[in-house]
Structure 1
Amino acid sequence: MSSLAHVSELGALDISMDSEGLTDINRRLNEASVHQRVEWSLENLPGTHIVSSSFGAQSAVMLHLLNTVAPGIPVVLTDTGYLFSETYLFIEELKERFNLNLQVFRAAESPAWQEAKYGRLWEQGIDGLEKYNAMNKVQPMKQALSELSVGTWFAGLRRSQSDSRMQLDVVKKQAQQFKVHPIVDQSNKQLHQYMTKHKLPYNPLWDKGYVSIGDWHTTTTLQEGMSEQDTRFFGLKRECGLHEFGDGDGI
C-alpha cells in the first residue's frame, strides 16, 4: 500500500481528537511525503488554513510548497519592524514571484514608540527578550489567528534546527488550532535539493553566513563551534514564543 493510500485511510478528524488518535495520525503521516502531508491536512483539517513565514534562509521551500498545493493560501508575517533590509527585499521578491496572499501583523505600538517607552528591550537580558517577543511576535500572531479564524496553521519548523524542536510531530494541537509541520524531518540537504529542483532563492543573508534569520539586533552569523540555535537571541534562548503558546493563552 502506498504512503498516500495509507494516510488517506485516516479520513476526517474530529476536533476533539484524543492524544492516542493524534499519535496514530502522526505515525502514518511520518511515512508520507511532504506534499502528501500538506494535501491530507488541507482536505481533513479545519479551515481557515494559513502558513506562517519569517522569510528566513530557506523559507521559499514552504511558500512554494503551500502555494503549489493551495494557491492563495494566506501567508502570515509578524513584522517586528527590525528585520534586515535584505529580508524586507526578499519578502517583496517572493510576494511578486509566488503572487502571495501576504497578511502582515504588527504590535500595537511602533518600534520607535516601544524604544521610547521601554528602551531597547533586547539589551535587557532574558526578561527584556521575553517582553519584546511577547509584544512583537506572540501577540501579533494571536491577532492573526483570531482575525483570520484560523483552524489549521502550517509552519516550517524542523527537528534539526534546535534541541527544543527535536520531538516535534507532523501534526499537533496547539490551543484551538491544528499545527502542521510538513518539512519537520527534512535535512538541509533535502531542502537544498528541493530549492535546486524548483530554482528557488535563499534569503540573501544565507550567503553572508546567517543560517537562522530574525531581527538584525538578535541574529548573528554562524561561527566555528556554534550550533544554529546559538545564532539567535545571544544564545540565551532559541524560541521567540511564536510556536510555543498553548491552551492557557485563551486562543
Structure 2
Amino acid sequence: MSPSTRLLHSNVDYVALNRQLEELTLTDFLRWSVVTFGERLVQVTSFGPTGIVILDHLVKVNPDVRVVTIDTGFLFPETYALWEEIERRYGIQIHVVRPELTPQEQERLYGPALWALEPDVCCHERKVKPMAAAVAGQHAWITGLRRDQSTTRNQTPLIGWDARYNLFKLSPLAHWTREAVWDYIRAYNLPYNRLHDLGYTSIGCIHCTRPPADANDERSGRWQGRMKTECGLHWPVRPFTPCRE
C-alpha cells in the first residue's frame, strides 16, 4: 500500500471509525470513500441486489469510478443479460477479469465437473485467483456484503482490512436489510437479475446456485448439500460490534 494513502491500515482504530461511518447515509459513505481513496477505489460486483444499489449511488458520486466483475465462465444467461443492461443504463463499461484457465482447460487439468468434486478448488481457480487481478494496485474495494445475508456475515464491518489482498474492504450496506435493498430497487426501478423472480436469493455460478433451502438464509441456495457457504473471496476481517442504544 502506498504511503501516500490518506488512511493507513496500521494507524486505524477500526471500532471508532466504523462507529463514525455507521452514522453516514450511503451517499455520504461513498463520498467519503472517493475522497479517501481517490482513483485507487474499485467496486467489485457480481450484480447482486446490494451491489446494484451501491452502484446506483456510486456512479452519481463519481461517474468515473472503476467497476469490476469476475466472469467465471459459468454465469447464468440472466446474469450476462443484467450486466449488459447495467452498462446501458449507466453508460459505463464494466471491467472484466477472467480466470487463467478456460472451462475447457480446467476440465483437462482437473477432470470434469470440478465444481461437484472439489468446489473449493473450483472457486479458488475461478474466483479467488482472479480477484487478485481485480484489485491489483487498488487501496480499497467495495463489496455488497450485508450482515443479514447469513450467520457467517453477521459481524461484517463497514470498513475492515482484507488480509488476503492487502487493502481496505468496504461494505457500505452492511447494516441494511434485504427488505430495504429491495424497497430501493423497486422505488427507483433499478435493473436486477430476473432469477430473483423465480425464487433465487443469492446468485453465483450456474452449477452451484439453487433457490434457497431456508427462506431465512439468503445464501442457503449456494453449494446445497455441503458445509461450504462462501466462495473464498471474503476472509474474516477485524470484528466489529454495531453500536447499541
TM-score (ref. length: structure 2): 0.87
2:49 & 2:16 partners in 1: Cα distance?
32
8 A contact 1:59–1:202 mirrored in 2: no
Q: Secondary structure at the match of 2:212?
A: coil
Residue segments in structure 1 that go unaligned for 5+ positions in a row:
1-11, 247-251
1:43 & 1:136 partners in 2: Cα distance?
32
State the match for 2:240 in structure 1.
none
State the match for 2:70 in structure 1.
78
Q: Secondary structure at the match of 2:234?
A: coil
Superposed CA RMSD: 1.9
| Residue from 174, 177, 180 that aligns with 2:162 | 174
For these two proteins, the number of residue pairs brought into alignment is 229
| Residue from 56, 60, 74 that aligns with 1:64 | 56
State the match for 1:153 in structure 2.
141
2:143 & 2:213 partners in 1: Cα distance?
27
Q: Quick one: which amino acid aligns to residue 243 of structure 1?
A: H
State the match for 2:114 in structure 1.
121
1:168 & 1:80 partners in 2: Cα distance?
25
8 A contact 1:157–1:165 mirrored in 2: yes
| Residue from 231, 238, 242 that aligns with 1:240 | 231
8 A contact 1:153–1:177 mirrored in 2: yes
1:44 & 1:224 partners in 2: Cα distance?
39
**Structure 1 residue runs of 4 or more that deviate by more than 3 Å after TM superposition:** 16-19, 223-226
TM-score (ref. length: structure 1): 0.85
Residue segments in structure 2 that go unaligned for 5+ positions in a row:
238-245
State the match for 1:26 in structure 2.
18
Q: Quick one: which amino acid aligns to residue 178 of structure 1?
A: F
Q: CA deviation at 1:74?
A: 1.3
Identity %: 33
State which drifts further: 223-232 or 133-142. Answer: 223-232
8 A contact 1:55–1:91 mirrored in 2: yes
Q: CA deviation at 1:163?
A: 1.1
More helix by share: 1
| Residue from 140, 150, 155 that aligns with 2:130 | 140
